[in-house]
Amino acid sequence: MKKIVIIDGGPRRNFNTAAMLQKFADGAMSVGDGIEVKMVRLYDLDYKGCMSCMACKIKGKASNVCRFKDALTPILEKIAQADGLVLGSPIYFGDVTGQMRTFLERLAFPWLSYNDYSLTAPKRMPVVLVETMNGLPERNNSNGYGSMEHCLAGALGQPQRLVAYNTYQVKDYSRFELAGFSEEAKRQYRDEHWQEDLQRAFEAGRKMAEGVITQ
């Protein structure tokens, strides 16, 4: 059985990021019985970022999986054994959410060697990074996964980015103080792009699953 772990770094269970990740999961599972998909919602977990305990760097006992014990521990252990990894986050103030960043500290610090600055994960695997945001392709403030993208590329392999732009932030714009957005323009963009975004997520899931199943 090949395993794909999907990490949802957004707070809303039924909005844009969750929908993109669910479509990715549907695409992966469409490949058949040989694929197991585990969806993890970071906002459901009680965990810390890197505690700088340095337990992963003790001489003779160095580990490329974080040794700090909390609700993230079984997830990090699962990723170490996985065959594919998907990270999804809304863009908040130009970056991924705090929860996603905090998770990435725990994932990536044990990969980094302070002896030679190499990056080594327990296993290399395909990675997809999903972002959803208000911005447009030609005008957005997203740094995406920022410096963490370099760590992911070095340790796991070059990630594929999957971005949904100009998403609907609320279901009904008339109920909120959101006059800076034209609901009409949002609706038009959504009608032209959202189904396509979801289809791209589905196809990316199918492609990842097909790739890992033939490994």
Ligand X SMILES: Cc1cc2nc3c(=O)[nH]c(=O)nc-3n(C[C@H](O)[C@H](O)[C@H](O)COP(=O)(O)O)c2cc1C
Find the shortest distance in angstroms from Cβ 26 to ligand X.
17
In the chain, the N- to C-terminal Cα span, in Å, equals 11
Alpha carbon 185 to its chain's center: 28
Q: Which of 46, 60, 93, 191 binds ligand X (CB under 6 A)?
A: 93
Q: Of residues 113-132, which lie at the interface with ligand X (CB under 6 A)?
A: 132
Nearer to ligand X, 102 or 132 (CB): 132
- Alpha-carbon torsion 78, 79, 82, 88, what sign? positive
Residue that the structure tokens 């990842």 belong to: 208
Find the shortest distance in angstroms from Cβ 38 to ligand X.
19
Q: Of residues 6-65, which lie at the interface with ligand X (CB under 6 A)?
A: 10, 12, 15-18
Structure tokens at 111: 């990969």
- Alpha-carbon torsion 147, 15, 18, 100, what sign? positive
Find the shortest distance in angstroms from Cβ 44 to ligand X.
15
| Number of residues forming the site for ligand X (CB under 6 A) | 19
| 167 is an interface residue for ligand X by CB under 6 A | yes
- Bridge partner residues of 95 (DSSP): 92
| 134 is an interface residue for ligand X by CB under 6 A | yes
- Rounded Cα distance between 24 and 204, Å, is 6
| 73 is an interface residue for ligand X by CB under 6 A | no
Find the shortest distance in angstroms from Cβ 212 to ligand X.
26
CA Rg value for the chain: 18
Sites of contact with ligand X (CB under 6 A):
10, 12, 15-18, 90-94, 132-135, 140-141, 167, 169
